[in-house]
Structure 1
Amino acid sequence: MLLVVEDDQAFAGILKNLSHEMGFQVLLAGTAEEALSLARDLTPSAIILDVGLPDQSGLSVLDRLKRNVHTRHIPIHVVSAGDHAQTALSLGAVGYMLKPVRREQVAEVLAKLEARLEQRMHRVLIVEDDERQRDAVSKLLASDDTETVTAGTAAECLELLRTQTFDCMVLDLSLPDTSGYALLETLSQQDAYSFPPVIVYTGRELSADDELRLRRYSKSIIIKGAKSPERLLDEVTLFLHQVVAELPEQQQNMIRQARNRDALLEGRRILVVEDDVRNVYALTNILEPRGALVEIARNGKEALERLATSQLHRELAVDLVLMDVMMPVMDGLTATRAIRENPAWAKLPIIALTAKAMPDDQQRCIEAGASDYMAKPLDVEKLLSLVRVWMPK
C-alpha cells in the first residue's frame, strides 16, 4: 500500500494512476494532518510526500513520522518545488525529486520503492582502523536481517565497493592510508565504485569547516561529537528502515535511550523571544532536556541586542530563533524585519509564534521574513518537528 501526500489534485491523480499501473494500492492525503493520521492508523508500505502542504511543511511530516517508532521504518520519498534535499535526506527520506517531475522519474522512484520493500537482508560496510572498535560496531549493528562487513583501511574499503554493493557505510575519518575526506572524494568522482549513503562516526568534534567539506557529499549523514553507540544504532536502523519492534531487545533499549536526547538539538543555541513567563518556562522545559541551550529575550529589541552580541563572540552564535509576535517595546514582526535587514542574519532560521490562528497570520509572518510559523497553544511534537526541520544542519 502506497500513501501519496499531495495537495495538487492533478499531480496526485497522475501519481495515483501510475502507482496503480505498477501494482500498488494507493491512499491519497491532501494535508499534513490527514497524512499523519493515515500513516499511523494504516502503516502503508511506502510514502510519496510533497513538501508544500496547506497546513504545515511536508518536512515536518517527515520528521514526525521518523520520530515515531511505529512509522519510522516506512520508506518516504519526498517531492518538492523547492530544493530541501539535504534536510529531507538528513531527516531520513530515501530520496528527493524536484518538481516539475516527468512520468519516467516517477516510474523510477516507484520501482526503487518496490525493490526496497522486497529486500530482506541489509548490508552495512564498517570502515574503522581500530580493530576493537571495528568489532564492537559490527556486533552493535548486526541482527537477523543486517549483515556487517568490515574494512580497516581505505584501500580495503575501495576494493569492497568495487566488487560489492551496500545499503549503508559507517565511516571513521581517521584511516592509516588516507583521510576519510580523500576516500569520499574518490567515491564521488569515480564510477568504478558503488557509493552507498555514508554515516560519519568520529570520536572528535567536527569544526564548521570540517562539516562544510563533508556536506559536499550530499549522501552523507553526520553524527557530531563523541562516539555514541546508541546514536549510531538509532541512525543506522532509521537509515535501513528497520522495524524497531523486530530488532533484538538490547538494540530496542539502546534506541529508546538515543531518543531521549536529540542529536539535532544537542548543544545548539536557541533564542526564545517571548514576554510571557509561562511560555518561556514551557519552551525551556521542552528544549533543554533534549540538549538545546536556551537564551531568553523579553521583546524584539532585546532579541536584536542579543544577536548583535553573538556577532562579536562566535561561541555565543544563535542557531535558531523562536519569535513571539505580540510583545511590548518591539513586536515580533518588526524584530524579524530588522533581523533580515542584516546580511549576516539572512539565513538565520526564525519560527514565528502567534496567539491567534488567523488566516492571514502565516502570510504576514512569512512576508516579514520568518522561516516558518506556528499558532499557540503550542503542540510539543509539532514545535520540536519545526525546530528540527529548520535547525542548520
Structure 2
Amino acid sequence: MASYDAIVLGFGRSAKENAQVLDELTGQFGEALPQLLFFAPHPDALEQVLALNPALASAPRAENFAQLALHISATLPGEGREARETETEQTGRSDLAGAKVLIVDDDIRNIYSLTSVLETYGIQVLHAERGRDGIALLEQTPDVDAALIDIMMPEMDGYETMRRIRGTAAIAHIPLISVTAKAMKGDRQKCLDAGASDYIAKPVDLDLLLALLRVWIGRSRSRAESPEKILVAAN
C-alpha cells in the first residue's frame, strides 16, 4: 500500500455520504491512517464527521486535523482531550439554545421522542401532525430556524409539503430536513428535488440529527443577522 503524508477530503452537503467515505478510508488504512485535511463549504462539517465517526477523535493527529479544519487550539490527548470533548458538548448545546424547530410528523410518538431530546438542548419545538398544519404553523411563525418534515404522511406527503413551502415566498427560506423510513437509492435526490435542504433516514441517528441542525440553524441565524448588519453599517 502506498504511503501518504496527508489526505485532503472535499465534503459535500450530505453528512451520511461524508461518513461513508471516512469509513472506507479508516478500513483501508487502519492505524496507519494519515493526517486528514477537510475542505468543506461550512465548518460544521467537522462536527458531522466526529458525530458519525467517534473513533476519529482518538485517531493519530486528530488534534492537527481539528485545528486545520476549525482553526481551534490544539490540545494534548488524555485530560486535554476530555476537556475538549466537554467544551465541545457545551458549545454544541449553546449553539442550539434558543433555536426554534418545527416537527411535521403524523406519528405522535416520533414527535414526543424528538421533542424530548431537542428540548434538552434549549430548542423550542413546534409540531404538526399534517403537512397542511405544518405549512400553516410556518406561515404564523416565519422565524422558525429549521423544520423536520416526515415523508410518509396521509393526505399530503412530505414531498408535497416541502414543494408548497418552497413555493410560498414568506417561508421559502426555512431549512427543511426530510425524515424518511425509506432508504432506497434515489430517495435522497427525490427529497432534495422536492425542496429539502438535507436528508436523514429512520431510525433517526440523534448525533447526526443534532449535527445537521447545527449546520442549518447556524445558516438560518446568519441569514437573519445579515440584514441587521447591513442596517447598522448604513446608519
Gap change, CA 1:310 and 1:4, over 3 Å in 2 = same
Aligned partner letter, 2:188 = Q
Q: Distance in 2 between matches of 1:293 and 1:39?
A: 38
CA distance in 2, matches of 1:309, 1:332: 19
Structure label with greater radius of gyration: 1
Q: Which of 34, 37, 52 does residue 48 from structure 1 map onto? A: 37
In structure 1, C-alpha distance between the alignment counterparts of 2:88 and 2:40, rounded to whole Å: 27
Distance 1:6 1:267, change over 3 A: closer
Contact 1:272 1:295 in 2 (8 A): yes
Q: How much is the aligned-residue C-alpha RMSD, in angstroms? A: 3.3
Distance 1:70 1:281, change over 3 A: farther
| Counterpart among 63, 75, 92 of residue 242 in structure 1 | 75
Aligned pair count reads 201
Which of 67, 70, 76 does residue 93 from structure 1 map onto? 70
Q: Does 1:325 align with 2:151?
A: yes
Deviation at 1:359, TM superposition (A): 1.1
Report the 3-state secondary structure (helix = DSSP H, G, I; strand = E; otherwise coil) of the residue aligned with 1:384: helix
Report the CA distance shift for 1:340/1:275 in structure 2 as closer, same or farther (over 3 A).
Answer: same
Aligned partner of 2:233 in structure 1 is none
For residues 344-386 of structure 1, the C-alpha deviation after alignment (integer angstroms, 9 at most, x for no partner) is: 3232110001110111211111111110111111111111111
Q: Which runs of 5+ in 2 are unaligned?
A: 12-16, 222-235
* Residue identity opposite 1:382 in structure 2: L
Instruction: Quote how far apart the aligned CAs of 1:268 are.
Output: 0.2
1:177-326 alignment, distance < 5 Å:
239-243=72-76, 245-247=78-80, 252=83, 256=86, 259=89, 262-311=93-142, 317-326=143-152
- Cα distance in 2, alignment partners of residues 283 and 330 from structure 1: 21
SS of residue in 1 equivalent to 2:211: helix
Q: Give the secondary-structure state (helix, strand or coil) at the position aligned to 2:204.
A: coil
Residue in structure 2 matched with residue 64 of structure 1 by the alignment: 48
Per-residue displacement from partner, 1:226-249 (whole Å, max 9, x unpaired)?
xxxxxxxxxxxxx11324635398
Counterpart of 2:198, as a letter, is D
1:4 to 4, 8, 13: 8
Q: 1:344 aligns to what SS in structure 2?
A: coil
- Per-residue CA deviations over 1:246-269 (Å, capped at 9, x if unaligned) read 5398xx2x9627615612211100
1:325 deviates by 0.6
1:33 maps to 2:33: no
- Structure 1 CA distance for aligned equivalents of residues 141 and 190 of structure 2: 27
2:63 aligns with: 73
Contact 1:351 1:370 in 2 (8 A): yes
Distance 1:248 1:386, change over 3 A: closer
- CA distance 1:344–1:379, change in 2 (3 Å): same
Q: Is the 8 A contact 1:299 1:332 kept in 2?
A: no
Unaligned 5+ runs, structure 1 = 8-29, 53-57, 79-91, 95-238, 312-316
**Residue identity (%):** 32
Higher relative contact order (CA closer than 8 Å, sequence separation 6+)? 2
2:230 alignment partner in structure 1 = none
Instruction: Please give the secondary structure, in 2, of the residue aligned with 1:343.
Output: coil
CA positional deviation for 1:333: 0.9
Where 2:170 maps in the other structure, the secondary structure is helix
In 2, the alpha carbon distance for the partners of 1:344 and 1:279 equals 28
Task: Supply the distance in 2 between the matched residues of 1:255 and 1:361 (Cα, whole angstroms).
Answer: 34
2:101–2:147 contact (8 Å) kept in structure 1: yes
Check whether the contact 2:103–2:127 (CA below 8 A) recurs between aligned residues: yes
How far off is 1:6 after superposition?
4.9
Aligned AA (1:256): T
TM-score, scaled to structure 1: 0.44
Counterpart amino acid of 1:271? L
Q: Give the distance between the partners of 1:373 and 1:262, measured in 2 at CA.
A: 22
Contact kept in structure 2, 1:32 and 1:61, CA below 8 Å: no
* Offset, 1:36: 5.3
Aligned to 1:370: 196
Shift of 1:274: 0.7
